[in-house]
Amino acid sequence: MKSAAVSIIGRPSAGKSSLLNTICGHKVSIISPVPQTTRNMIRGIWNDPLGQLLFLDTPGYHDSERKFNRQLQHVAVRAMNDADTILYVVDSSRKPGREESAILDLLSVTSVPVVAAVNKIDLPYAVPDEAATWIHARLPAVMCIPVSAVTREGIQTLLDVLIGLAPEGEALYPEEYYTDQPPEFRIAEIIREQTIIRVSEEIPHAVFVDIADIETDEPNSKLFIRAFINVERESQKGIVVGKGGRGIRDIRKASQRELRKLFPYSIELDLRVKVQHKWRKRDDLVKKLIY
């Protein structure tokens, strides 16, 4: 039996969470086109007759001095140090920039084995060979595996390599598990996902969701959820609520639909918007929300 913790590292929007969901076969980690979607260390579990891999999804690594970004970086670095293997995810449809070289700096000094997933090869303008060339310029020994989190191309090869590198050990979780996140966290994340894909500019980064109350009505299999979408300014609140409440109504309906796929309940969501003035500058909230 093999068992390993695999930390998924890469710049914002490289497709780390998409890859994790494809591997686990469920929505474990939320996804959006907005960079810095993931804010926490999210565990997803892959079970196979050969063993178990525990994947740690992380916030996109982004060099910045701001309190909020520094906390995100800290989560990624912690996951790297906890890993048996690092899965470095690269977007092969974009040129490597300053962000990529900051990650390569980190990877070139770690003693943890690194495997690179060269992602998004389904895109017509992807250049996986070029990506492998610049990875090898800094990390000559790293194996580069071309994959697509969307079409699943290359995913089995990647898993074969990762399980091959895993040490002998006992499974950490029962084999029916695919994540260990508490339901309350998953609900808040789905609402955040459905909010950030419907707003633009700075708003996605200013959103956090808190769950005020969850109740079940067992015989009817109904889940009543009361939640708040928090933003930083009154003007952002107006945008989330939308004209005649249309924005918040769409978010509520879409969240209910997504939650229905994850939980064996019909969902009734009571959703409101609240302003938490400049919460990203508040130590207590940043530490509570990003870990």
Ligand X SMILES: Nc1nc2c(ncn2[C@@H]2O[C@H](COP(=O)(O)OP(=O)(O)OP(=O)(O)O)[C@@H](O)[C@H]2O)c(=O)[nH]1
Q: Which residues bind Mg ion (CB under 5 A)?
A: 16-17, 37-38
The angle that helices 128-138 and 98-109 make with each other, rounded to 10 degrees, is 50
Shortest-Cβ-distance residue relative to ligand X: 60
Q: Counting runs of H as helices and runs of E as strands, what totals does the chain give?
A: 10, 9
Burial class (CB in 10 A: 0-12, 13-18, 19+), 287: exposed
Nearer to ligand X, 17 or 255 (CB): 17
Q: How far is the CB of 72 from Mg ion (least distance, A)?
A: 11
Beta strands in 153-246 (DSSP E): 208-217, 222-231
Choose the one of ligand X, Mg ion, none that binds residue 119, judging by a C-beta under 5 to 8 angstroms depending on kind: ligand X
The angle that helices 234-241 and 246-262 make with each other, rounded to 10 degrees, is 70
Choose the one of Mg ion, ligand X, none that binds residue 120, judging by a C-beta under 5 to 8 angstroms depending on kind: ligand X
Nearer to ligand X, 112 or 155 (CB): 155
* Helix (H/G/I), strand (E/B), else coil: 165: helix
Choose the one of ligand X, Mg ion, none that binds residue 236, judging by a C-beta under 5 to 8 angstroms depending on kind: none
Burial class (CB in 10 A: 0-12, 13-18, 19+), 93: middle
Q: How far is the CB of 241 from ligand X (least distance, A)?
A: 25
Nearer to ligand X, 3 or 85 (CB): 85
Choose the one of Mg ion, ligand X, none that binds residue 3, judging by a C-beta under 5 to 8 angstroms depending on kind: none
Nearer to ligand X, 118 or 163 (CB): 118
